[in-house]
Amino acid sequence: MLTLYFFFIAAGHPVRLSILLVGYGFPILLGKTAFLIPGGVGIVESTMAALYTGFGIPGPIVVVVILSYRMFSFWIPTIIGFPIAYYLKKA
């Protein structure tokens, strides 16, 4: 969540802690309940976007922050992890 906070600051739009907690916690919880979709991909992003824009944060900032956050927290570790898992399985 601290990463998401710093992405908002980097985008020039700091947010209150209460908005950050709701906009982060609820989508992550919703993504965990969607067990058929690995990592809640798509569900987490769309829910975050809906909540943050609903709280009055401009759409372009929300899109940049959410995509940056998910790239940093989900996709980069996944992309790095696949070759490492393959290598460890062979060894």
Separation between Cα atoms, residue 76 and residue 7, nearest integer Å: 16
CB within 8 A of 19, min separation 6: which ones?
52, 55, 57
Confidence at residue 39, expressed as pLDDT on a 0 to 100 scale: 63
Q: pTM for the whole thing?
A: 0.80
Scanning the structure block, which residue is given the tokens 């829910």? 47
Q: Please check whether residue 1 is in contact with residue 24, taking contact to mean a CB–CB distance below 8 angstroms.
A: yes
- Examine the pLDDT at 48 and tell me if it is beyond 80: yes
Tokens matching residue 2: 């601290």
Q: For the chain, how many structural domains are there in total?
A: 1
- Examine the pLDDT at 15 and tell me if it is beyond 90: yes
Confidence at residue 28, expressed as pLDDT on a 0 to 100 scale: 85
Domain range for 65 is 2-90
